[in-house]
Amino acid sequence: MKNNIRYICLILSGIILFGFGNNAFAFQEEDLIAPRLSLGYFKDSQNGPHLRVKARVRAKRGYDDLANLKVNVYQIGEEDMLLGDITTGMDGVAIFKLDEGVFNRADSSGLITAEIRIEDQKGYEDSSADVEFSALQIEISFAVEDSVGYVTAKLTNPVTGEAVSEEDINFYVRRSFRPLTIGDDFYTTDEEGIAKVEIPSDIPAGFDGKLTVGIFMDDHYLFGTIREEQEIEYGPIPTLDQAYFERTMWGTRDKTPLWLLIFPNLIILGVWGVLLYLAYKLYIISKIKN
């Protein structure tokens, strides 16, 4: 009888432990974070051609950024090639710079496919995102015609050598706080891949006589987001107002007019002098009474 009770207890214990293990495993599966990945192609003068990764996770109110998340970067082809890995920052963003080898492995039309993957990371579900893009070559040239400055942009496919026509681009001039659009909102390239804009003559250059002009293409379905810039010598050179270094009422504290420093201090010294003189007289009077 005792043996039967012992066997029954062992069986019940096994059932309980098995059920608890399954529940724990299910809980761990449910606790995995499901990242939301986005991938885009960018090219600018600072980072060159690069991929921009954004990692987020669904929260109670919108999305939260995923920091310190390792992402593998692949180039997709006949055989997937691992290009490297990157880790997202506190804003959930990471930048992966592309070398010339990536573009050399493009297909006959110049198309490149890149993919990012989260693979076998503890606490995260496997996830991926991909983007297709093509290299774009932008040649910026400057010329003066009849005392008027013009900037010309020529767009070509570096793989096929063909002109990129019927594409919208923006021209801008770099300013201190944000780029200043020049001309119309956008210009469309012609059959030769060329677009041209006049530079307003009233836009001042820097103190070195140089002006930075640029071409901008925003979130194109094939070429991504591209920003190309070039320095040119054009525009009136600003002159520094020497009145800034003079002593004026509207100047900084160290440029206060001398008369404004002298007279108020003389008035203050005069008031304190009178008060000290009266105090001295009162002291003399008190001595005489004693």
With cut-offs at 50, 70 and 90, classify the pLDDT of residue 15.
low
For domain 35-134, which architecture applies?
Sandwich (2.60)
Cβ atoms of 86 and 73 closer than 8 Å? yes
Cβ atoms of 227 and 45 closer than 8 Å? yes
Task: Give me the amino acid identity at 276.
Answer: L
Cα 173 to its chain centre, rounded Å, is 18
User: Do the first three CATH levels of 35-134 and 137-233 match, i.e. the same topology?
Assistant: yes
With cut-offs at 50, 70 and 90, classify the pLDDT of residue 50.
very high
Which of the four CATH numbers 2.40.30.10, 2.60.40.10, 3.10.129.10, 3.90.1170.50 does domain 137-233 have?
Answer: 2.60.40.10
- The DSSP code for 273 is H
User: Kind and range of the H or E element at 64?
Assistant: strand 63-65
pLDDT of the residue at 16: 58
pLDDT tens, 254-283? 888 888 888 889 999 999 999 999 998 888
Q: Give the pTM.
A: 0.69
- State phi, psi for 86 to the nearest 5 degrees: -140, 160
Cβ atoms of 234 and 201 closer than 8 Å? no
Mean pLDDT rounded to a whole number for the chain: 84
Between residues 173 and 23, the one the model is more confident about: 173
- State phi, psi for 94 to the nearest 5 degrees: -140, 150
Domain boundaries, the chain: 35-134, 137-233, 243-272
pLDDT tens, 63-115? 888 899 899 999 998 888 999 999 999 999 999 999 988 888 888 778 899 99
With cut-offs at 50, 70 and 90, classify the pLDDT of residue 26.
very low
With cut-offs at 50, 70 and 90, classify the pLDDT of residue 25.
very low
| DSSP string across 65-129 | E--S-EEEEEEESSS-EEEEEEE--TTSEEEEE--HHHHHT--TT-EEEEEEEE-S-TTB--EEE
3-state secondary structure of 230: strand
With cut-offs at 50, 70 and 90, classify the pLDDT of residue 162.
confident
Pairing type for strands 35-44 and 224-233 reads: parallel
Question: pLDDT above 70 covers what percent of the chain?
Answer: 89
**Alpha carbon distance, N-terminus to C-terminus of the chain:** 121
Cβ atoms of 91 and 38 closer than 8 Å? no
Is 258 exposed, middle or buried, given 0-12, 13-18 or 19+ CB atoms closer than 10 A?
exposed
pLDDT of the residue at 10: 58
Q: Which two tokens stand for residue 162?
A: 């063909």
Measure the CA dihedral 136/73/97/219, to 10°: 40
Partners of 247 in the β-ladder: none
pLDDT above 60 for 1: no
